[in-house]
Structures are given as structure tokens and as C-alpha cells.
């Protein structure tokens, strides 16, 4: 079975620009999670979708971040406008059961300059 796919793998953008990250979960996994690791810090939870609904978005840092999962399949995470402190690695994960074993993607490394 295909794993969790994220793209792009790397993105370098200027401060103030917009970037959209995409995550394709494992087919049939209703639960999709976004995490972020800022350099030298912990991997932090951003939000959790169950199908197309946001189950928990308590980790979203501010309103410059918008996550969507239309149709309950792939998800996008848009950062608009990007700031320097948004740089880091953004991970996506999916699971079949709510809170169950998660499979992580390879991450998108975002650099804001």
C-alpha cells in the first residue's frame, strides 16, 4: 500500500509570500494529522481531521495558517503570508482509527527567507 505522500519535499519562499503544502494520506484513512517541527524544537501538533471535519485545531499557531480537506481525501495547509518563524519541517500523518497508529509522511521542509 502506498504510504503518506507529501509535496513539495522542499520549499523556499520569501517572507510575505504564500505557500501551500499538500498531504495525501493512505487510502481509506479517515484521520489526518498535521505536525510541525521548528528548528531545534519539538515536533508539535497542529490539527487533526476526521474525514473533512476539523476534529482538533488547537495547535494551529495563528490565522495565517489555513488547513483544508475537501472531500475527506487529501489535505492542504496554506500559510499566508509566510513569516520567518514559519520555517521548519511540516509532517502529515494518517490513521485508520481515531487516535490509532499513525503513518507519517516524509515531511515538507519550508524555508522562509
Partner 1 sequence: AQSVTQPDIHITVSEGASLELRCNYSYGATPYLFWYVQSPGQGLQLLLKYFSGDTLVQGIKGFEAEFKRSQSSFNLRKPSVHWSDAAEYFCAVGPSSGAGSYQLTFGKGTKLSVIP
9 or 20: whose CB is closer to partner 1?
Answer: 9
Closest CB 8 distance from partner 1, rounded Å = 14
| ∠ CA 81-102-112, rounded to 5° | 20
Distance in angstroms (rounded) separating the CA atoms of residues 110 and 11? 5
Coil vs helix vs strand at 1: coil
60: β partners: none
Closest CB 70 distance from partner 1, rounded Å = 21
Query: Which residues lie near partner 1 (CB under 8 A)?
Result: 3-4, 31, 33, 35, 40-45, 48, 55-56, 58-59, 91, 93, 98-99, 101-107
For residue 70, the tally of other CB atoms under 10 A from its CB is: 9
39 or 84: whose CB is closer to partner 1?
Answer: 39
Closest CB 43 distance from partner 1, rounded Å = 4
Amino acid at each position: 500500500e502506498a504510504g503518506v505522500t507529501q509535496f513539495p519535499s522542499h520549499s523556499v519562499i520569501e517572507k510575505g509570500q504564500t505557500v501551500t503544502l499538500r498531504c495525501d494520506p493512505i487510502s481509506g484513512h479517515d484521520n489526518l494529522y498535521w505536525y510541525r517541527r521548528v528548528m531545534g524544537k519539538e515536533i508539535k501538533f497542529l490539527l487533526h481531521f476526521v474525514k473533512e471535519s476539523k476534529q482538533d485545531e488547537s495547535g494551529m499557531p495563528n490565522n495565517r495558517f489555513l488547513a483544508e480537506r475537501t472531500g475527506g481525501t487529501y489535505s492542504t495547509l496554506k500559510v499566508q503570508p509566510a513569516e520567518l518563524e514559519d520555517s521548519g519541517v511540516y509532517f502529515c500523518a494518517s490513521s485508520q482509527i481515531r487516535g490509532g497508529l499513525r503513518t507519517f509522511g516524509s515531511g515538507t521542509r519550508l524555508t522562509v527567507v
